[in-house]
Amino acid sequence: MNRLIRAEFRKIFTTRLWWAMLLGAAAFATLATIGQLAGNGVDSAALMSARTQQAVFASATFGDIFTLVVGVIAITTEYRHFTSRPTFLSEPRRGRIVVAKMVAYAILGLGYATACIAVTVAVAVPWLATEHTTVEWQNHDLIWVIAGDLATITAFAVFGLGVGVLVRNQIAAVIAALAYLLVLGPVMQVIPGVKVIYRWLPGAAADAVTDVGHFNDRLLNPWEGLAVFLAWGVLFALSGWWFTVRRDIP
């Protein structure tokens, strides 16, 4: 298994995609953090509130779009360029390839998450300091927000792998993943009736995890969110494994 994980890392680091996507993730996290801070202007009461501070530190999760796409591409690029063939010839026990990919991309996702959190902290802490505001790490449960950032950004890489296994066409899979996260999710959030379903979907469940104070009533509470989110993770991982083992490799 270690061999296969090492092979996955070689695949990752011998093309430039990981680097471009890391830049993208960090840029999104930075912009989202700035947006969140700037939205409160110089109102230090607002900037002091748990709601605002949690939202600011949850901005790192905007990087999850990139871990999702990296995960999708990880699988679909093998089918697109037929490297699936040497890959599954080197290890015909296909389940092991899937597990190796999941481990490798979870580790990579953790790296992305760390970078996103780092830029968020690097922007938010000095910004709040100049507004004569203290960062209430303890009182506002910001540590939990950051733990939530770490978990969700990382897990989106595994979600992406699951999507890539199901939709092998790379462009279709990337578009489907982005359309859900950027368009379908936000739209569902405001449609009456669908709202109830929305909170149980992976994107909303991820948002609930970092909404530690449960300020957004469209979402589940953070613990429910975490449970639902992990359930999605397990579902994506299992379906990725199951379909890879059952279907023919092109």
178/249 with CB nearer other proteins: 249
DSSP letter string, 112-123? HHHHHHHHHHHH
> Under rule CB under 8 A, which residues in 195-234 are in contact with other proteins?
none
CA distance 217 to 211: 10
60/75 with CB nearer other proteins: 75
DSSP letter string, 16-47? SHHHHHHHHHHHHHHHHHHHHHHTTTT-HHHH
Residue 1 engages other proteins in binding (rule: CB under 8 A): no
Residue 92 engages other proteins in binding (rule: CB under 8 A): yes
- Which one of residues 49, 87, 152, 154 is an interface residue with other proteins (CB under 8 A)? 87
- Which one of residues 86, 138, 192, 217 is an interface residue with other proteins (CB under 8 A)? 86
The three-class DSSP label of residue 152 is helix
Residue 90 engages other proteins in binding (rule: CB under 8 A): yes
Sequence letter at residue 107 = I
Contacts of 107 (CB under 8 A, 6+ apart): none
Residue 244 engages other proteins in binding (rule: CB under 8 A): no
> Under rule CB under 8 A, which residues in 65-84 are in contact with other proteins?
77, 81-84
What are the b/e assignments for 34-50, b being 16+ CB within 10 Å? bebbeebeeeeeebbbb
Total of chain residues touching other proteins, rule CB under 8 A: 26
Write the interaction track for other proteins spanning residues 5-34; mark x where CB under 8 A is met and - where it is not. Answer: -xx--xx--xxx------------------
Binding region for other proteins (CB under 8 A): 3-4, 6-7, 10-11, 14-16, 77, 81-93, 246, 248-249
